[in-house]
Amino acid sequence: MCGIVGYIGCQQAYPILIKGLHRLEYRGYDSAGVALLDPNGKLNIYKSRGKVSDLERFCESKDISGTLGIAHTRWATHGEPNDINAHPHFNESGSLALVHNGTIENYAVLREALEEQGCVFRSQTDTEVLVQLIDYIRRSSGCTLLEALREALKQVVGAYAIALIDAEDPDTLLAARRSSPLVVGVGKDETFIGSDASPIIEFTNQVVYLRDDEIAIISRHKPLQIIDANNHNTEVDIQTLRLSVAQLEKGGYPHFMLKEIYEQPNTLHDCIRGRIVDGCRVQLAGVQDNAERFLQARRVVIVACGTSWHAGLIGKRLLQELAGIPVTVEYASEFRYSKPLVGPEDVVIAISQSGETADTLAAIKMAKESGAFVYGICNVVGSSIARETNTGTYIHVGPEIGVASTKAFTGQVTVLAMLAVALGQLRGTLSTEEAAEIAADISRLPDLITEALQVDDIIKSLSSTYTYVHNFLYLGRGYNFPTALEGALKLKEISYIHAEGYPAAEMKHGPIALIDNELPTVFIAPNDDLHEKVISNIQQVKARGGSVIAIVTKGDTAIPAIADHVIEIPPVAECLSPIIAAIPLQLLAYHIAVMKGRDVDMPRNLAKSVTVE
Ligand code: F6R
């Protein structure tokens, strides 16, 4: 949540910062701002409520010169999203500017202490407390800005990625992090910072991922210096990014979400590549290198949030059925404040697209402290979760920019399926033939998704029938109960229509009371072991006047005879059916949201990467 970007070098900073903010806008879009040090040493700070494009309009007639600058796009935590609460925040004299991603938990205490010393605050944010604190420490002790920053960071409790500039020092940009991501891009005679690599990749592929409690001292004329919490120089570990600018653009699609839905045949291909050997054996390095831990595992605990948690629910079924390991699935936000009783004999699987979700990160740290072995399933290479886990598997689906997760979900479930097969092979719960059969089915997923995407036009025309309903029910059973949860989440987050996912058979224990001719129900009903039972559930809805949209396997004749609308998906192994069934659900949510005129890629109140509690 919140995106920060910074630049120091020979080019004009403003265009680089604005472009960077557009790339980071998926992280928050309540307000945006920029601070630029002009050639005369004046710090110009411009802020605006709304999106980055609003900031650009605001800056049209302003002095935007300067080769040093920082900028921010906000997802509000403390204080409403208005111009004053927008970042950058500054000290009383306006000589220091700071942008921040994260939350300063003890900001109220610090603010009170500073007010007692005469500091006057303009905003309601936790961030202003930090910049005023740095300024106060520097003024009262006469120390350098770096020393004041170090001292201030010792006093704050919480998470931060920050960038700081000083009107009195046009040659330095300071950046620091704890629990919020920060990447430094090292160019020739210029340096960039970003919450992720997307604002940087256009200029350099040489990056350094800052670690917790490190401060980067970025100087115009000296090599990058990084110090740790003890003020010792640490190694500047420059890595080469494998990311292209094209991956960050819409590529002709009207929205990132639609592009990402359509990318899925390719992304799953990338996800599977090199992991299914000879078309029949699954090979995951993280499993092979840690075979003993997996062989001895008493149980698996999956921790994740949101869509990743839904993938985890499917993973539970896969791991239990194919690898014979008991699995529990926890919301990371609940796990971290519970007594989960994990220990050295447990494997904890953390699933996260961004690899930065604060709750999941906290759950991992807790699991590691209890001695558990932690396996990560992440998308973003080099992310905090990828680095914090003992080992893991990247889903390799490329940057996901639309706020609603689509290709990450199918990638996560695919990795979980491969993991279940790998563990089944290792633990002897799957015969060679059984493993080979599922591995072959996994290899076919990209083609099946291509086929599933062919229903797009049907879904588009069906969507117009349902644009103005107020509630939806999504029902599924077995492997597709979590698919129902995911379908409902997709619809509600981008269309703002209330939608609830439920196990189809649980409907009769309460939600059936909601059914009438104004409540459509989406059934995820492919041909599987529970198909007959789901048909009965559909009958129950129809008997009460409800309309039914059913996702069925091609060739099904029973459900089309009773449902109002049918969307066909190609036949697929039951344990992989959520991956294919997710496609029409993503398209349904997308088209309804577009018809309602919603901002599909940036739905209200949301942010892509949830780095606060
Ligand atoms: C929904 C969605 C969110 C995320 C959740 C976890 O479409 O994207 O529910 O799944 O915020 O994020 P990650 O996977 O980055 O940990």
Residue 195: how many other CB atoms lie within 10 Å: 30
- Band (pLDDT 50/70/90 cuts) for residue 260 is very high
Please indicate whether residue 613 or residue 86 has the higher confidence score (pLDDT). Answer: 86
Given this model, what pLDDT does residue 279 score?
A: 78
Given this model, what pLDDT does residue 297 score?
A: 94
Given this model, what pLDDT does residue 249 score?
A: 87
Cα separation, 61 vs 7, in Å, equals 22
Contacts of 600-603 with C-beta under 8 Å, sequence gap 24+, read 600/255, 600/257, 600/258, 600/402, 600/404, 600/494, 601/26, 601/255, 601/256, 601/257, 601/401, 601/402, 601/403, 602/25, 602/26, 602/29, 602/51, 602/403, 603/403, 603/404, 603/493, 603/494, 603/496
Given this model, what pLDDT does residue 485 score?
A: 98
Q: Which residues are catalytic?
A: 2, 608
Q: Say which DSSP state 179 is in.
A: B
**What would the pLDDT profile of 512-538 be if each residue is shown by its tens digit?**
899 999 999 999 999 998 899 999 999
- As beta bridge partners, residue 159 has 103
Cα separation, 38 vs 289, in Å, equals 53
Position 117 pLDDT exceeds 90: yes
Nearest by Cα to 8 from 215, 197, 188, 171 = 171
- Band (pLDDT 50/70/90 cuts) for residue 611 is confident
Angle between the N-to-C axes of helices 264-272 and 407-427, in degrees from 0 to 180, rounded to the nearest 10: 30
Question: How far does residue 43's CA lie from ligand 1's centre (Å)?
Answer: 37
What atom in ligand 1 is closest to the CA of residue 412? 14
Residue with CA nearest ligand 1 atom 11: 306
Given this model, what pLDDT does residue 80 score?
A: 84
- Band (pLDDT 50/70/90 cuts) for residue 245 is confident
Question: How far does residue 459's CA lie from ligand 1's centre (Å)?
Answer: 24
Cα separation, 241 vs 380, in Å, equals 11
Listing from the earlier edge strand, what are the strands of the sheet with 183-186?
43-49, 31-37, 68-74, 3-8, 191-194, 183-186, 206-209, 239-240
Position 1 pLDDT exceeds 90: no
- As beta bridge partners, residue 552 has 525, 568
User: What single string gives the DSSP state of each residue in 244-262?
Assistant: -GGGGS-TT-SSHHHHHHH
Position 486 pLDDT exceeds 90: yes
What atom in ligand 1 is closest to the CA of residue 309? 10
Q: Where are the alpha helices (DSSP H) in 428-455?
A: 432-443, 445-452
**What would the pLDDT profile of 445-470 be if each residue is shown by its tens digit?**
999 999 999 999 999 999 999 999 99
Domains of the chain: 3-247 (3.60.20.10), 250-430 (3.40.50.10490), 450-600 (3.40.50.10490)
Tell the residue number behind the tokens 């036009």, with chain if given. 457
Given this model, what pLDDT does residue 613 score?
A: 76
**What would the pLDDT profile of 159-205 be if each residue is shown by its tens digit?**
899 999 999 999 999 999 998 889 999 999 999 999 999 999 999 99
What atom in ligand 1 is closest to the CA of residue 357? 16
- Indicate the average pLDDT of the chain: 95
Residue 82 tokens, joined: 């208005």
Q: What lines the ligand 1 site, CB under 6 Å?
A: 305-308, 352-354, 357, 360, 404-405, 489, 493, 609-610
Question: How far does residue 194's CA lie from ligand 1's centre (Å)?
Answer: 20
Q: What is the mean pLDDT of residues 244-255?
A: 89
Helix (H, G, I), strand (E, B) or coil at 148: helix
Given this model, what pLDDT does residue 28 score?
A: 84
Residue with CA nearest ligand 1 atom 10: 307
Q: What is the mean pLDDT of residues 491-510?
A: 95
Given this model, what pLDDT does residue 608 score?
A: 79
CB 455 within 8 A of CB 587: yes
**What would the pLDDT profile of 36-72 be if each residue is shown by its tens digit?**
999 999 999 999 999 999 999 999 999 999 999 999 9
Q: Candidates 75, 257, 302, 305: which one to mutate for ligand 1, based on the most atoms within 8 Å of Cβ?
A: 305
Tell the residue number behind the tokens 């033939």, with chain if given. 433
First to last CA, the chain: 10
Cα separation, 450 vs 462, in Å, equals 20
Q: Say which DSSP state 18 is in.
A: H
- As beta bridge partners, residue 408 has none
CB 142 within 8 A of CB 99: no
pTM of the entire predicted model: 0.88
Question: How far does residue 37's CA lie from ligand 1's centre (Å)?
Answer: 36
